[in-house]
């Protein structure tokens, strides 16, 4: 092992590869390309991974929206086609019967799924906006980003059915002047005055929603629009470790039993299962990561084999040189070491250049995708992957290098010298 740290060894290797520039460059490009592809693919798939995660970061990843529809099977004397109305009390039953449910909140809306948006005015300014009756729990299911000084609907608002509202960015722009503080101001929603307590920053936390939505307490909504104990849909979050597909099935089953719907009636209740979709997307992202690792590693392998190939030719080309070296006293081991170290050195050199170039391209991609709507954030390659790739390169470089090295010492020096 001593020769590895001997300056003379490296001077000899460096001399040999720096004086054969064309050969060195061609050799280097092979592995460089391989590791470059590996780094770019691994980083890009990680970036996509991060991008998906970022898109979903503000919403509980296992949230489910459940609503009622019409029955499709006659049951217990009811004919088919009966319209089912969800009730607020269903939430309590669901939570009691399905332990996987962490939060459940009823939601009523106006102007989202049918119905006219509410005409909202303030002074001479007016526009129509969708109105949501939201319980405070909603903030736990889908994180609400509220601008400074503002707040989301709280328990007191709920209990006292306060006439307060959280408005969207667009609503603020359209109803308030630019330098005006909307917090504490009043807007009129269909003849009822509401005090603005917060402005929400719009993020796609639900399958619906816009930047103009007005949120009011669920109980206020109930009184305002006389919805009684009815609710349009439930927003549900399951615990992180729950099987969301099973939870969705359980929810529908419980709802069927409460509302006396045939157990096999699939059409009576609808649900949008974000957890399931998220799972599919992450599965897809994992698949891409795995594939890019495989492709990258195979490309590295191809590159290293390329190095072996070129070294094999170069050994043939250098037969005479190696013969001279041996006539001058190089032992077979020294010749073998020279070739193997050349191989490992070239592999590592090109590997490191490839990593640097790959990192540069990843950085460029990151900058280019910064402002566009594409799930791509912070593309990084985990250090263990990089070290792993370097180790693989050293091992492969040694293995591949030992083939031409063996070839080099298998020729007798006298035959090597005769070579013209």
Partner 1 sequence: MIEIKDLHKSYKMGSNSLHVLKGINFSVEEGELVAIMGSSGSGKSTLLNILGMLDVANSGEYNLDGVPIKNLNETKAAKYRNKFLGFVFQSFNLINYKSALENVALPLYYQRIPRKERLERALKYLEQVGLKEWATHLPSELSGGQKQRVAIARAMASEPKVLLADEPTGALDSVTSYEVMDLIQKINDQGNTILVVTHEDDIAHMCKRIVHLKDGVIVEDKKVKQVRASEYV
Which lies closer to partner 1 via its Cβ, residue 195 or residue 333? Answer: 333
Cα 230 to Cα 26, 133, 163, 218, 256, distances in angstroms: 74, 12, 20, 11, 16
Report d(CA 46, CA 40) in Å as an integer: 10
**3-state class (DSSP) for residue 146:** strand
Report d(CA 420, CA 377) in Å as an integer: 59
Cα 193 to Cα 153, 163, 188, 216, distances in angstroms: 16, 7, 4, 12
Asked whether the beta carbons of 216 and 153 are under 8 A apart, the reply is yes
Which lies closer to partner 1 via its Cβ, residue 399 or residue 414? Answer: 414
Give least dist CB 332 to partner 1, A: 5
Report d(CA 285, CA 246) in Å as an integer: 23
Residues that bind partner 1 (CB under 8 A): 7-8, 11-12, 15-16, 19-20, 320-321, 323-334, 409, 412-414, 417, 420
Which lies closer to partner 1 via its Cβ, residue 28 or residue 411? Answer: 411
Give least dist CB 15 to partner 1, A: 7
Report d(CA 162, CA 221) in Å as an integer: 10
Cα 401 to Cα 7, 23, 24, 353, distances in angstroms: 21, 15, 14, 20
3-state SS, 41-88, equals HHHHHHHHHHHHHHHCCCECCCEEEEEECECCCCECCECCCCECCEEC
Which lies closer to partner 1 via its Cβ, residue 25 or residue 245? Answer: 25
Give least dist CB 396 to partner 1, A: 27
Which lies closer to partner 1 via its Cβ, residue 256 or residue 336? Answer: 336
Report d(CA 264, CA 141) in Å as an integer: 29
Give least dist CB 340 to partner 1, A: 17
**3-state class (DSSP) for residue 154:** coil
Beta-strand ranges (E) seen in 241-365 are 269-273
Give least dist CB 30 to partner 1, A: 22
Which lies closer to partner 1 via its Cβ, residue 311 or residue 409? Answer: 409
Give least dist CB 363 to partner 1, A: 38
Report DSSP letters for 381-402, one per residue: --HHHHHHHHHHHHHHHHHHHH
Which lies closer to partner 1 via its Cβ, residue 73 or residue 417? Answer: 417
Q: What angle do CA 251, 253, 259 make, to 5 degrees?
A: 100
Which lies closer to partner 1 via its Cβ, residue 11 or residue 96? Answer: 11
Give least dist CB 31 to partner 1, A: 23
Which lies closer to partner 1 via its Cβ, residue 12 or residue 90? Answer: 12
Residue 406 is given by DSSP the state H
Give least dist CB 325 to partner 1, A: 7
Which lies closer to partner 1 via its Cβ, residue 166 or residue 408? Answer: 408
Which lies closer to partner 1 via its Cβ, residue 200 or residue 325? Answer: 325
Give least dist CB 29 to partner 1, A: 21
Give least dist CB 407 to partner 1, A: 15
Give least dist CB 341 to partner 1, A: 14
**3-state class (DSSP) for residue 349:** helix
Report DSSP letters for 367-381, one per residue: HHTSSSSSS------
Report d(CA 234, CA 245) in Å as an integer: 16
Q: What are 225's two structure tokens?
A: 């629009």
């Amino acid at each position: 092992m001593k020769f590895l740290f001997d300056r003379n060894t490296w001077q000899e290797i460096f001399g040999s590869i720096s004086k054969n520039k064309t050969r060195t460059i061609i050799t280097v490009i092979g592995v460089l390309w391989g590791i470059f592809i590996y780094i770019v693919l691994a980083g890009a798939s990680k970036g996509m991974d991060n991008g998906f995660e970022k898109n979903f970061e503000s919403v509980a990843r296992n949230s489910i929206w459940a609503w009622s529809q019409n029955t499709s099977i006659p049951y217990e004397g009811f004919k088919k086609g009966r319209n089912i109305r969800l009730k607020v009390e269903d939430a309590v039953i669901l939570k009691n019967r399905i332990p996987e449910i962490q939060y459940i909140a009823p939601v009523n809306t106006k102007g989202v799924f049918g119905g006219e948006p509410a005409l909202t005015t303030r002074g001479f300014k007016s526009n129509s906006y969708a109105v949501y009756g939201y319980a405070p729990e909603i903030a736990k299911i889908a994180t609400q980003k509220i601008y400074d000084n503002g707040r989301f609907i709280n328990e007191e608002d709920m209990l006292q059915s306060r006439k307060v509202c959280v408005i969207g960015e667009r609503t603020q722009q359209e109803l308030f002047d630019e330098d005006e503080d909307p917090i504490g101001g009043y807007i009129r929603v269909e003849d009822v005055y509401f005090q603005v307590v917060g402005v929400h920053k719009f993020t796609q936390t639900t399958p619906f929603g816009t930047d103009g939505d007005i949120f009011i307490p669920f109980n206020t909504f109930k009184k305002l629009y006389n919805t009684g104990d009815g609710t349009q849909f439930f927003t549900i979050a399951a615990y992180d470790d729950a099987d969301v597909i099973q939870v969705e099935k359980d929810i529908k089953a419980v709802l069927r039993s409460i509302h006396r719907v045939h157990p096999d009636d699939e059409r009576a209740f609808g649900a949008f299962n974000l957890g399931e979709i998220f799972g599919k997307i992450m599965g897809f992202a994992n698949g891409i990561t795995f594939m890019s690792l495989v492709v990258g590693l195979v490309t590295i392998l191809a590159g290293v084999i390329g190095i072996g190939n070129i070294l094999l030719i170069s050994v043939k080309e250098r037969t005479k040189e190696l013969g001279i070296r041996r006539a001058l006293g190089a032992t077979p081991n020294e010749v073998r070491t020279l070739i193997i170290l050349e191989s490992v050195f070239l592999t590592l050199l090109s590997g490191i250049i490839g990593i640097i170039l790959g990192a540069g391209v990843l950085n460029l991609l990151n900058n280019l995708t910064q402002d566009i709507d594409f799930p791509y954030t912070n593309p990084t390659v985990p250090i263990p992957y990089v070290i792993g790739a370097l180790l693989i390169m050293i091992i492969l470089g040694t293995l591949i290098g030992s083939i031409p090295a063996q070839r080099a010492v298998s020729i007798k020096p006298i035959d090597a010298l005769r070579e013209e």
